[in-house]
Amino acid sequence: MSMSEKIRIALVKRKKSITELASSLGTSQSNLSNKMSRDNFSEKELAAIAAALDCTYHAGFTMNDTGEEI
């Protein structure tokens, strides 16, 4: 599942629009829509989106053979 899909799901669960999220982030709705269509976010942007949606963002790698998280 792409990050854009995850953001859309979080928006629905929080009953917020992309326009409201963009406003919370201090950006335009068109800029956020473009980023979502390209699924192109920096870690900093994802952290800010998570905070705006009252969620926790975490990223990392898990070794498939050992289950070790990096």
Which pLDDT does position 25 carry in this prediction? 97
The pLDDT confidence band at residue 70, using thresholds 50, 70 and 90, is confident
pTM, to two decimals: 0.85
> HSE of 45 in the Cβ direction (CA atoms, 13 Å)?
15
The domain ranges of the chain are 3-52
3-state SS assignment for residue 30:
helix
The pLDDT confidence band at residue 58, using thresholds 50, 70 and 90, is confident
The beta-carbon contacts of 43-46 under 8 Å, at least 24 apart in sequence, are 46/3
Query: Tens digits of per-residue pLDDT, 4-57?
Result: 999 999 999 999 999 999 999 999 999 999 999 999 999 999 999 999 999 998
* CATH of segment(s) 3-52: 1.10.260
Which of the 8 DSSP states describes residue 27? S
4 vs 30: CA distance, rounded Å: 14
What is the gyration radius of the CA atoms in the chain, in angstroms? 13
